[in-house]
Chains A and B, each alone.
Chain A
Amino acid sequence: MEWLIASVIAVMTGCGVYLTLRARTFPVVLGLTMLAYAVNVFLFTMGRLQIGFPAVIDPAAAGYTDPLPQALVLTAIVIAFGMTAFLIVLALKARSELGNDHVDGLHRSDDELKATKHNSAKSDSERSTS
């Protein structure tokens, strides 16, 4: 089980880092969400992996899991949730104010855009005729 959990955290973190480094705002939001998920699982495992043990005192229990990481994860989930909601709204605001969804709000002039569109259209038609 340790291997499974460790690889889950690793893959999610890897995906999160990759997506966070993308140039569009939406993948960045997704990447940060993935990172938040990964860190939540990570925090959870820091109380060590145990199956079938209660976190709250129970006279019949043979052992306990650590309740603190569970409390931490709950807090972290709430905070990450709020932050993600804020970030999505901000990304939408940036999209409407900057005119595109690039993280740097790159402003290509309209002429330039037309030119590239025109060129790509031309090369497409050339390819199809040849």
Chain B
Amino acid sequence: MSPFTILPVLLPLIGGILLLMARPAGIQTQRILSLILISLLVGVSLVSFKLASTDVMQVVLLGNWQAPFGIVIVLDRLSAMMLLLTSLLALAALWYAIRTDTDKQGQHFHVLFQLQLFGLNGAFMTGDVFNLFVFFEVLLLASYGLLLHGGGRLRTRAGLHYVVINLVGSTLFLFAVGTLYGILGTLNIADMAIAVQNVSAEDQGIVATAAVLLLVVFGIKAAMFPLYLWLPGAYAYTSAPVAALFAIMTKVGLYSIIRVHGTVFGEAAGDLAFVHIQWVLLLGLITLALAALGVLAARALRRQVAYLILASVATLMIAIGINSEAALTATFYYLIHSTLLGAAMFLIADVILRGRGIYADSFTKAIPVDRPVLVGSVFMLLGIALTGMPPLSGFFGKVMILNSALAHPWFAAILSVVLIGGLIMIIAVCRSGSLLFYSVQKDKSQQTSPLNKSAFIAVVMLMLVSPLMVIFAKPLNNMSAQIAAQLYDQQAYINAVLDTLSHGETGK
């Protein structure tokens, strides 16, 4: 155990407070401070990643209370990967927000941004279900502020829906947590995993209900059918950097399913093993089918990108639902890809929107954007990556997922939904690309606004992740395989968390 472990959680909290106090110093100071803090966070996440890449899990006991009684912060390979992914995404989103002056549209953008990261990092590292609830609330409250940042009619309306559905989700979370506590008598994830093995036959139904209720809660976060209806509105109408950062928000739901359900209702859980997994697979398939139709039906680019994000989340749900080590390996590869590339797609939608003046991002004949070749090629590459066409990373991710699906009894359904969904999305993105970049007309009354080059760097950087993920596919795949192997070894997690007694005593 190293005290460094908790730094990824503490740094954004301290950063948020610092930025709040730096407000009188003006927006420039806040921007510089914010950039420094996020760069520091990237560094800290890198060190955490290195710390976690040994097979020893880093466990911090808050207040030095012994494991099942106090709250633990656990850093394993999966948490470290999510931390690194979040900080890289945050850096790109923040750069874009600063270069496009999005942060000037309202108050406290930088403070909320840091607190959002505080909530995210906390959720990725906590080893306690109730603490997970608390961090969920932290990240949600910050996300409400960020989502509504800048204001506007459509944004307020989408924000209202987002807040209400998430409040319902929080209530359900508490119901599920209460039920689990009532039966299992503990809320520490590792301790729950042990307690669930000794549940009496008559209580099994109640625990299974709580497990599915918890799945509903995480399903709201991950935008799982039929709980995804808030996503297209919320993501399409918020400001672009926020939408880009929110690409990680749906993944929090998926992470929680992997972490909580995967550990507590894993192989060792006896009759309750994998109570959730068929639901994840089935709902993932339905979500993907509907998301593909949504991509096709969208009448504006930002809405289409929101549905593309939904499709990538659904693909991940299917991969989790396949429930094998190979599938989980593919999940992590695809998760990195879809988070960063999805964020890039939101940013380029904003670039196009800014370039087209009053036509915004609607699929109509309009004035051409500035530098159509550059913007168009980046859009095309992103489209290829997100719809899963060769030679970019989306294709490799999908191949890995489909390859692992072959061993599953539902492989015919999985293959057909993923492939047909992919085809529909390719057609839709091709159509929108040709509409946006070829179907143009000069309009004297409309002025093309010039491309914001320094903001565009963020898009290009995120886009470059895709070819890099192809070039370094082998090491990345090894890393994902190691994460999956660690997750499948639940006993190691339980031991690491509960055997901290000796550490705690030597620490005194």
Residues of A at the B interface (CB closer than 8 Å) are 16, 20, 25, 28, 32, 35-36, 38-40, 42-43, 45-46, 48, 68-69, 72, 75-76, 79-80, 82-83, 86-87, 90-91, 93-94, 97-98, 103-105
Whether B164 sits at the interface, judged by CB under 8 Å, is yes
Chain A binder among B172-180, B322-330, B411-419: B172-180
When distances are taken between beta carbons in the complex, the residues of chain B under 8 Å from A25 are 160
When distances are taken between beta carbons in the complex, the residues of chain B under 8 Å from A69 are 178, 181
Whether B137 sits at the interface, judged by CB under 8 Å, is yes
Residues of B at the A interface (CB closer than 8 Å) are 130, 134, 137, 141, 144, 148, 151-153, 156-157, 159-161, 163-164, 167-168, 170-171, 174-175, 177-179, 181-182, 187
Contact check, A98 vs B144: say whether CB atoms are below 8 A apart: no
Contact check, A39 vs B156: say whether CB atoms are below 8 A apart: no
Contact check, B164 vs A83: say whether CB atoms are below 8 A apart: no
Mostly helix, strand, loop or mixed at chain A's interface? Answer: helix
When distances are taken between beta carbons in the complex, the residues of chain B under 8 Å from A94 are 156-157, 160
Other A-B pairs beyond A72-B130, A90-B144, A91-B160, 8, CB < 8 Å: A20-B168, A32-B171, A43-B181, A45-B182, A75-B130, A86-B141, A87-B163, A93-B156
When distances are taken between beta carbons in the complex, the residues of chain A under 8 Å from B181 are 43, 46, 68-69, 72
Name the contact of B141 in the complex, choosing from A28, A68, A83 (C-beta under 8 A). A83
Knowing A97-B151, A97-B153, A105-B157, say if A43 contacts B174 (CB, 8 Å). yes
| A55 CB → nearest B CB, Å | 15
Contact check, B164 vs A28: say whether CB atoms are below 8 A apart: yes
Q: How far is the CA of A48 from the CA of B175 in the complex (A)?
A: 15
Knowing A97-B156, A105-B153, say if A87 contacts B164 (CB, 8 Å). yes
Contact check, B156 vs A98: say whether CB atoms are below 8 A apart: yes
| A99 CB → nearest B CB, Å | 9
Contact check, B171 vs A35: say whether CB atoms are below 8 A apart: yes
Contact check, A32 vs B153: say whether CB atoms are below 8 A apart: no
Contact check, A35 vs B178: say whether CB atoms are below 8 A apart: no
Name the contact of B164 in the complex, choosing from A16, A32, A72, A79 (C-beta under 8 A). A32
Contact check, B141 vs A82: say whether CB atoms are below 8 A apart: yes
When distances are taken between beta carbons in the complex, the residues of chain B under 8 Å from A45 are 182
Mostly helix, strand, loop or mixed at chain B's interface? Answer: helix
| A112 CB → nearest B CB, Å | 18
When distances are taken between beta carbons in the complex, the residues of chain B under 8 Å from A40 are 174
| A5 CB → nearest B CB, Å | 13
| A78 CB → nearest B CB, Å | 10
Closest chain B residue, CB of each to CB of A38: B171
Q: How far is the CA of A90 from the CA of B163 in the complex (A)?
A: 9
Contact check, A103 vs B141: say whether CB atoms are below 8 A apart: no
Contact check, B157 vs A98: say whether CB atoms are below 8 A apart: yes
Name the contact of B160 in the complex, choosing from A79, A82, A90 (C-beta under 8 A). A90
Contact check, B167 vs A87: say whether CB atoms are below 8 A apart: yes
When distances are taken between beta carbons in the complex, the residues of chain A under 8 Å from B163 are 86-87, 90
A-B contact pairs, 19 of them (CB 8 A): A16-B171, A28-B164, A39-B174, A42-B174, A42-B175, A43-B181, A46-B179, A72-B177, A82-B141, A83-B137, A86-B163, A87-B163, A90-B144, A90-B148, A93-B148, A93-B156, A94-B156, A97-B151, A98-B156
Q: How far is the CA of A80 from the CA of B170 in the complex (A)?
A: 9
Closest chain B residue, CB of each to CB of A107: B153
Closest chain B residue, CB of each to CB of A34: B171
When distances are taken between beta carbons in the complex, the residues of chain B under 8 Å from A79 are 134, 137, 170
Contact check, A42 vs B153: say whether CB atoms are below 8 A apart: no
Q: How far is the CA of A39 from the CA of B175 in the complex (A)?
A: 6
Q: How far is the CA of A40 from the CA of B182 in the complex (A)?
A: 14
Contact check, B168 vs A32: say whether CB atoms are below 8 A apart: yes
Name the contact of B157 in the complex, choosing from A46, A86, A104 (C-beta under 8 A). A104
Knowing A43-B174, A46-B178, A83-B137, say if A32 contacts B167 (CB, 8 Å). yes
When distances are taken between beta carbons in the complex, the residues of chain B under 8 Å from A103 are 160-161, 164
Q: How far is the CA of A68 from the CA of B153 in the complex (A)?
A: 43
Contact check, B134 vs A75: say whether CB atoms are below 8 A apart: yes
Residue with the greatest number of chain A CB neighbours at <10 A, chosen from B137, B156, B160: B160
Closest chain B residue, CB of each to CB of A84: B167
Contact check, B170 vs A83: say whether CB atoms are below 8 A apart: yes
Q: How far is the CA of A40 from the CA of B175 in the complex (A)?
A: 9
| A81 CB → nearest B CB, Å | 12
Q: How far is the CA of A36 from the CA of B148 in the complex (A)?
A: 24
| A16 CB → nearest B CB, Å | 8
Contact check, A36 vs B134: say whether CB atoms are below 8 A apart: no
Closest chain B residue, CB of each to CB of A43: B178
Q: How far is the CA of A105 from the CA of B152 in the complex (A)?
A: 12
Contact check, A83 vs B167: say whether CB atoms are below 8 A apart: yes
Closest chain B residue, CB of each to CB of A71: B130
When distances are taken between beta carbons in the complex, the residues of chain B under 8 Å from A87 are 163-164, 167
Q: How far is the CA of A35 from the CA of B182 in the complex (A)?
A: 19
When distances are taken between beta carbons in the complex, the residues of chain A under 8 Å from B178 are 39, 42-43, 46, 69, 72
When distances are taken between beta carbons in the complex, the residues of chain A under 8 Å from B187 are 68
Q: How far is the CA of A86 from the CA of B142 in the complex (A)?
A: 11
| A84 CB → nearest B CB, Å | 8
Closest chain A residue, CB of each to CB of B160: A94
Q: How far is the CA of A80 from the CA of B168 in the complex (A)?
A: 11
Q: How far is the CA of A4 from the CA of B156 in the complex (A)?
A: 41
Q: How far is the CA of A82 from the CA of B170 in the complex (A)?
A: 13
Q: How far is the CA of A112 from the CA of B52 in the complex (A)?
A: 63
Contact check, B160 vs A36: say whether CB atoms are below 8 A apart: no
| A91 CB → nearest B CB, Å | 7
Residue with the greatest number of chain A CB neighbours at <10 A, chosen from B137, B156, B178, B182: B178
When distances are taken between beta carbons in the complex, the residues of chain B under 8 Å from A93 are 148, 156
